[in-house]
A = this chain, B = another copy of it.
C-alpha cells in the first residue's frame, strides 16, 4: 500500500503511464431547422430538420460521413473540447450544448481504443445562412428523418423482449444514406437491459448512426417537457413556425389550438407582423426566458 508516505510524495512519484489508456473524443450532434422554398406564393415554406456531417478525408472510413468531433486535449475539459470542436467546424459559438452519452465499446474505432462523449447542440436557423457560406468544403447539412419501421414484442413468464427497428435517413442534394438501428429492450424479472445495435449503416462512419438515433430520441423527449426547441428558433418567429419545428422533430401533426395553449407561457407577443404572405399576416413572438 501507499499509506506510509505523504500525499505529496505519493503524487510526486505517481506514474500515470503504468496502465494503458484509451483515447477520448467528443462527437457533436449539431441540429438545425431550415426552410425549403415553395412554388405557390400562398403556401408557407416547409421546414426541414438538419444535421451537420463532415466527410472524412482520411482513414479510417475515408469518404464516409461522420459527426464533427475530435480528440480531447489534456489541458481542456471535455465540455471545452466540445465547444472548441464546434467553433472549429462551424464558426458558431453561442448555442445550446448538452452532454448526451458516452460510448465506450471496445472496438468502436479500428485505430485504437476510443471512448467518445457525444454532445447535442442546437443552432437557430437564422445563423444557418452564415454557416452555408462557410468554406468548409466537406461539411454538409443533411435532412434527417428517423422513423420506427418495425416492432416486435415477445412476452415470456419473467418479462418480455421488445425489439424496435428504426430507419434513419440522411439526405443532401447529392446523396442519400439510410441506416437501420435495432433497439433491444429485455425485461426479465427485475433485470432491464437495453442494447442499441447498428443493423445497417451505409455511408456513415464508425457507430455514428447509433449516436444520431440516440440524439434524436433525446431531443424528441426533451422537446415535450422543456424549452429546448427555442434554441432552434430565430429571435422573432410566428407561432406557426414554432409549431412546424415541433412537428418535424416529433414527426407528427399537431392541432393548432392545443399547441398554442401548450406553449403559451413560453412566448411573449410583439407588435410586429409578417407581411407579403399571400394570406392573413401573422403576429411575431419571442421566447419568454423568464416564465412565472
Contacts and interface: CB of A to CB of B under 8 A. Distances in A.
A243 interface: no
Nearest to A23: B21
Choose among A16, A96, A102, A290 the residue with the greatest number of B CB atoms under 10 Å from its CB.
A102
A75 B22 CA distance: 10
Given A106-B77, A111-B16, A290-B160, A190 B11 contact: no
A101 interface: yes
Interface in A48-105: 57-60, 62, 71-72, 74-79, 81, 94-96, 99, 101-102, 104-105
A75 B106 contact: yes
A81 to B, nearest CB: 8
Given A75-B106, A117-B102, A159 B111 contact: no
Contact of A111 (B14, B79, B124, B289): B14
Nearest to A58: B2
A78 B104 contact: yes
A62 B7 contact: yes
Interface in A1-57: 1-3, 5, 7, 10-11, 14, 16, 19-24, 57
Contacts of A230: 190
Contacts of A23: 16, 19, 21
A115 interface: yes
A79 B104 contact: yes
A136 interface: no
A230 B76 CA distance: 40
A281 interface: no
Nearest to A78: B104
A77 to B, nearest CB: 5
Given A74-B113, A117-B102, A3 B160 contact: no
A8 to B, nearest CB: 9
Closest 7 pairs between A and B when the two form their complex, measured CB to CB: A78-B104, A16-B112, A10-B59, A102-B102, A21-B21, A2-B58, A7-B59
Given A75-B106, A99-B101, 9 more contacts: A3-B58, A7-B60, A11-B59, A14-B112, A20-B74, A72-B104, A77-B105, A99-B102, A190-B230
